[in-house]
């Protein structure tokens, strides 16, 4: 498929005509929220097999072939060009699709925010998922677990041949608790009780793996957590279950801060079947405006990750949302509100502002003034930012990627996923 960035005077009809597709197909594939009022800088994924290249001044067949990784002879054959080929400016060359690597994918679903339609949300995108981590079972200080309402989500996962993962957290009163984690990780008896309870739930409800999302552990809990996970891995693998963990984004082994110090990339690489690296939330609701998942920072984390853990265990984190900040940003002031990529486009159309693109972070953003005269800035994800992340997955040859979190509407993501990758399925079809 191809990504088209809307320019001044573009319309759905003109863009569809440019690529030789029906306008209705373009609108439907992208679920365009503003078909009669496109925004400059908005992206549209063109639902075609392969892509087109319009010849620019200075282009040669040699340079184009190198850009797309296809031989000159193949370009000449597919486009029925005379040889030697003359390429006039604005001539449209067809570029065939490339082979698609096979990856594992996942999408967390948060039971605290998922609505009654959550099983249907899973069904809509289940074909694109390998794993569904269901967030979360909260560990209590006495070693018991507080469960979410999860059986409908597990059932939906099986319908779509997706592996349901049970997620354990050290959440207490809505926050990750260092004290709670210390209580559990300092007691062999409590650890055994947690694992006994988790394995019993997994067998009862049909979970196929256990994901550990213990955060804000601090340095004193680093080795305790490693030991707990080794114990868990021994028990889970004996039962045939997957074991995974979610880790904070680090650039070095000795990175300072309570969020980072308890997470040992190398140890998790040895213990886990795979690891969810949380490469998002640089821009977050309580912090200053910036890209949620800037590609330059994502790259730094993943390059460090593959120096510590096997590539085939590394999963990149991708956000399915953005934030709308009210300006000026004041530390401790008003928090930014979450927006889906679709809602971001609606806002840009509503306030008639162009979408800009930051090439360093590979992320779109725009500014607007609301009805009360308040200034806003919105950072979000679009087709370009997602493609940049997919390209990094291919470049680093890692296991795959995951999303935080399922729910926000982002149809372009799923179009591009299908075009870039073959998703590995680890649950057999019924009857197989």
Q: Stretch 132-154: mean pLDDT, rounded? A: 97
* pLDDT above 80 (res 24): yes
Summarize pLDDT for 224-278 with one digit per residue, the tens.
999 999 999 999 999 999 999 999 999 999 999 999 999 999 999 999 999 999 9
Over residues 104-111, the mean pLDDT reads: 97
pLDDT of residue 429 exceeding 90, the answer is no
Residues 397 and 266 in one domain: yes
Q: Is residue 207 part of a domain?
A: yes
Closest Cα partner for 317 from 280, 349, 286? 280
> Any idea what DSSP says for residue 47?
-
* Residues 154, 266 within the same domain: yes
How far apart CA 373 and CA 404 sit, in angstroms, is 32
What's the whole-number mean pLDDT along residues 77-81?
91
Question: Which position among 173, 179, 215, 303 bears the catalytic label?
Answer: 215
Domain assignment present for 341: no
User: Alpha carbon of 142 to those of 139, 145, 262, 370: distances in Å?
Assistant: 8, 9, 22, 49
- Is the domain of 397 the same as that of 315? yes
Look at residue 286 and give its three-state secondary structure.
coil
The pLDDT-based confidence of 431 (bands split at 50, 70, 90) is: low
Strand partners, 316: 277, 401
Strand 175-176 relative to strand 171-172, pairing: antiparallel
How many Å separate Cα 1 from the centre of its chain? Answer: 19
The question of whether 28 is a catalytic residue gets the answer no
pLDDT at 408 over 90: no
Helices (H), 132-212: 151-159, 178-185, 188-205
- Determine the Cα–Cα distance for residues 375 and 370; give it in Å rounded to an integer: 7
Domain boundary pick from 96, 128, 163:
96
Which structural domain range is residue 80 located in? 51-96
What pLDDT score was predicted for residue 432? 56
Measured CA to CA, the distance from residue 268 to residue 87 in angstroms comes to: 53
CATH number, residue 65: 3.10.350.10
Identify whether 278 is part of a domain: yes
What's the pLDDT tens digit per position in 362-399?
Answer: 999 999 999 999 999 999 999 999 999 999 999 999 99
Q: 140: how many CB neighbours lie within 10 A of its CB?
A: 18
Q: Which pLDDT score is estimated for 114?
A: 86
Among 63, 96, 129, residue at a domain's last position: 96
Same domain flag for 124 and 226? yes
- The tally of domains found in the chain comes to 3
- Residue 418, classified by CB atoms within 10 Å of its CB into exposed (0-12), middle (13-18) or buried (19+), is middle
Nearest C-alpha neighbor of 138 from the set 179, 176, 164: 176
pLDDT at 169: 98
Does residue 348 lie in a domain region? no
Burial 283-311 (b: 16+ CB within 10 A, else e): beeeeebbbbbbbebbbbbbebbbebbee
Element (H, E) at 322: strand 322-327
Residue where a domain stops, chosen among 38, 66, 96: 96
CATH number of the domain encompassing residue 184: 3.20.20.80
Same domain (yes/no): 282, 134: yes
DSSP assignment letter at 251: S
Three-state secondary structure call for residue 176: strand
> Are the CB atoms for 218 and 264 separated by under 8 Å?
no
According to DSSP, residue 77 is labeled H
Are 205 and 280 members of one domain? yes
Question: In terms of domains, do 117 and 192 share one?
Answer: yes
| pLDDT tens digits along 164-205 | 999 999 999 999 999 999 999 999 999 999 999 999 999 999
DSSP letter string, 350-417: HTT-PPEEETTTTEEEEEEE-TTS-EEEEE---HHHHHHHHHHHHHHT-SEEEEE-S-S--HHHHHHH
Please count the other Cβ atoms lying within 10 Å of the Cβ belonging to residue 145. Answer: 19
Give the DSSP H/E element, type plus range, for residue 294: none
Tokens of 407: 């729910």
- Average pLDDT on 117-126 reads 95
What mean pLDDT is reported for the chain? Answer: 96
In the block, residue with structure tokens 């390429």: 87
Cα(323)–Cα(92) distance, integer angstroms: 38
Do 107 and 154 reside in the same domain of the chain? yes
For residue 92, being part of any structural domain is answered with yes
pLDDT of residue 430: 66
Asked whether the predicted pLDDT for residue 56 surpasses 70, the reply is: yes
pLDDT in tens, 291-317: 999 999 999 999 999 999 999 999 999
Both 72 and 3 in a single domain? no
Give the pLDDT confidence score for residue 391 in this predicted structure. 97
8-state DSSP, 143: S
Residues 85 and 194 in one domain: no
d(CA 165, CA 148): 13
Query: What is the number of other CB atoms lying within 10 angstroms of the CB of residue 35?
Result: 17
Please indicate, yes or no, whether residues 58 and 199 belong to a single structural domain of this protein.
no
Question: Which of 297, 298, 311, 303 lies closest to 269, judged by CA?
Answer: 311
Q: Are residues 214 and 261 in the same domain?
A: yes
Q: Is residue 79 part of a domain?
A: yes
What average pLDDT does range 97-117 have in this prediction? 93
In this structure, what is the dihedral angle of CA atoms 409, 336, 400, 153, given to the nearest 10 degrees?
Answer: -50
**What percent of the chain clears pLDDT 90, i.e. is strictly above it?**
92
Judge whether 367 lies within some domain.
Answer: no
Q: How far is CA 370 from the centre of its chain?
A: 30
35 membership: H or E segment, kind and range: none
Contact 324, 347 (CB under 8 A): yes
Q: Is residue 375 part of a domain?
A: no
Confidence check: pLDDT of 98 > 90: no
The arithmetic mean of pLDDT across residues 87-111, rounded, is 93
* pTM of the complete model: 0.94
């Amino acid at each position: 498929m191809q990504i088209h960035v809307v320019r001044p005077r573009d319309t759905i009809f003109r863009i569809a005509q440019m690529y030789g597709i029906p306008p209705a197909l373009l609108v439907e594939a992208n679920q365009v929220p503003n078909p009669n009022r496109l925004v400059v800088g908005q992206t549209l994924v063109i639902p075609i097999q392969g892509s087109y290249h319009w010849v620019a001044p200075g282009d040669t067949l040699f340079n184009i072939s190198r850009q797309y990784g296809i031989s000159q002879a193949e370009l000449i054959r597919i486009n029925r060009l005379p040889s030697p080929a003359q390429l006039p400016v604005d001539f449209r060359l067809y570029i065939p699709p490339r082979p698609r690597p096979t990856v594992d994918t996942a999408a967390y679903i948060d039971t605290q925010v998922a609505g009654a339609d959550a099983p249907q949300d899973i069904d809509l995108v289940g074909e694109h998922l390998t794993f569904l981590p269901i967030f979360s079972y909260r560990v209590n200080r006495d070693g018991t677990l507080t469960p979410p309402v999860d059986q409908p989500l597990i059932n939906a996962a099986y319908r779509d041949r997706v592996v349901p993962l049970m997620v354990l957290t050290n959440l207490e009163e809505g926050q990750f608790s260092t004290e709670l984690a210390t209580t559990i990780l300092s007691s062999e008896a409590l650890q055994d009780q947690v694992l006994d309870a988790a394995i019993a739930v997994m067998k009862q409800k049909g979970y196929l793996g256990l994901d550990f999302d213990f955060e804000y552990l601090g340095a004193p809990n680093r080795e305790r957590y490693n030991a707990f996970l080794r114990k868990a891995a021994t028990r889970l693998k004996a039962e045939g279950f997957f074991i995974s963990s979610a880790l904070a984004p680090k650039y070095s082994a000795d990175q300072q801060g309570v969020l980072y110090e308890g997470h040992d990339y190398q140890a998790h690489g040895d213990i886990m079947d795979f690891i969810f690296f949380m490469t998002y939330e640089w821009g977050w609701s309580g912090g200053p405006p910036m890209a949620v998942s800037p590609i330059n920072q994502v790259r730094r984390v993943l390059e460090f990750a593959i120096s510590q853990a096997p590539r085939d265990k590394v999963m990149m984190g991708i956000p399915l949302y953005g934030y709308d900040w009210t300006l000026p940003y004041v530390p401790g002031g008003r928090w930014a509100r979450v927006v889906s990529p679709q809602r971001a486009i609606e806002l840009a159309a509503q306030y008639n502002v162009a979408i800009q693109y930051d090439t360093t972070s590979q992320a779109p953003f725009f500014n607007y003034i609301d009805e009360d005269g308040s200034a806003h800035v919105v950072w979000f994800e679009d087709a370009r930012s997602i493609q940049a992340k997919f390209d990094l997955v291919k470049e680093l040859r890692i296991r795959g990627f995951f999303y935080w979190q399922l729910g926000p509407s982002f149809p372009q993501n799923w179009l591009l996923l299908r075009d870039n990758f073959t998703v590995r399925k680890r649950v057999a079809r019924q009857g197989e």
